[in-house]
A = this chain, B = another copy of it.
Amino acid sequence: MSQRSGGAPLGVWLIGARGAVATTTIVGAIAMKLGHAGRVGLVTETDAFRVSGLASLDDLVFGGHDLLDTPLVKAAHALGRDAGPLAPELVHAIEDELTEAEKHLKIAPPTAAARAPLQFVRAVQQDLDDFRRSTGARRVIAVNVATTEQPAAAELRDLDLDALDAALHAPGSRVPASALYAYAALDMGVPYVNFTPSVGASLPSLEELARVRGVPHAGRDGKTGETLLKSALAPMFRMRHLHVRTWVGFNVLGNADGLALSDPATAASKTESKGKVVPSILGYEPQTLVRIDYVPTLGDWKTAWDLIQFEGFLGTPMTLQFTWQGSDSALAAPLVLDLIRLVDLAASRGERGGLGHLAFFFKSPVSCEIHDLAEQYALLCRHINGS
């Protein structure tokens, strides 16, 4: 692909930097750089993305925050088969590089209720700034790959930027950490990607901030498995005028994300995000149900079973079922790399605010109402290629 390389690196600041997705992202970037891995799974490594201005994958430098201090080498080995996507041989081969990558990872600052949220924001900004300086990065992009939060209070959506600013000064304000991270990044001109269902930059006030500061952001909730399939299959029923009566989906997984989602309040973030896709594509509301269950023995291997009952000509009842068995992190990591490159490109082109053309990557896209995968892809290609 036509890529800049050799100059100043592109900094990637991972929020949740020792989690499964972040670890797989870092391992993957190193493995590709050293020639241990190919480009499968990277959308930006296909012909449609031969555009000038796309950052080279070799120029990425990683930093980030995590609540834990598990060494990356250990985190990577924990994702070895059969619990995850990483071949033990691969992890062995890059242990030195993983240890080297540690040096920009820091413990996340505390979010004490007693302090004004702004203190947290400032601490994050300090670390972001240190990372930029110490790496000489030409740009830093922040990516939220942390564990899913509980849904944010609905009132938060009613605040404008001034009101949000005021809230940040008030101790006890309940602004979720993901929004504080988004604020911190956007406020200092750092583009922000929200790969999780957490609220992140999806608030009107943060869209306002992004526009004011002239920074782009992308999100929300990476579309990696069952929902990806929904967005590929639901249009078939619509195009063929087959009436979907029932679409129920059951997801089981055993990684940290699964553990967080075993809390019903947290799961609500995710199932809400997953539940809108089918009705939005079909244009009507079939009977739907989405469950995510934590089954620790599955590790990073997510299995989803979907049952779709539909009615054909003359009311004939028919059924489609599918089972998806995929590694959550191996599906997510290349999209994280894609998003870093595409958000960097958008920033270089002077785009600001929510990047609707990246809907292709998300379950709940910001600034875009399109859920049909083929339509999202066409939109993305048109946008990137300026046609």
Which chain A residues have a beta carbon within 8 Å of chain B's beta carbons? Answer: 24, 27-28, 31, 37-43, 45-46, 81-82, 85-90, 228-229, 232-233, 235-236, 239-243, 245-246, 248, 250, 252, 286-287, 289, 291, 293, 295-298, 303, 305, 307, 309, 311-327, 330-331, 333-334, 360, 372-375, 377
Contacts and interface: CB of A to CB of B under 8 A. Distances in A.
B40 A305 contact: no
Contact of A85 (B248, B309, B316, B321): B316
Contacts of A45: 241
Identical subunits present: 4
A233 B230 CA distance: 10
Given A46-B241, A229-B320, A320-B322, 20 more contacts: A40-B242, A41-B314, A42-B313, A86-B314, A90-B314, A232-B236, A233-B233, A236-B373, A239-B374, A245-B297, A250-B305, A291-B293, A303-B307, A305-B307, A305-B323, A313-B333, A314-B330, A316-B330, A318-B325, A321-B323
Please list the 7 inter-chain residue pairs (A to B) with the smallest Cβ-Cβ separation, ordered nearest first: A41-B313, A374-B374, A316-B330, A85-B316, A232-B236, A322-B322, A318-B326
A219 B47 CA distance: 31
A319 B314 contact: no
Residues of A contacting B: mostly: mixed
Contacts of A313: 24, 28, 37, 40-42, 85, 330-331, 333-334
Contact of A298 (B246, B325, B334): B246
Nearest to A327: B316
A326 B82 CA distance: 14
A316 B295 CA distance: 19
A380 B172 CA distance: 57
A314 B241 contact: no
Contact of A287 (B27, B235, B297, B321): B297
Contacts of A318: 324-327, 330-331
A312 B326 contact: yes
A86 B235 CA distance: 26
A240 B45 CA distance: 10
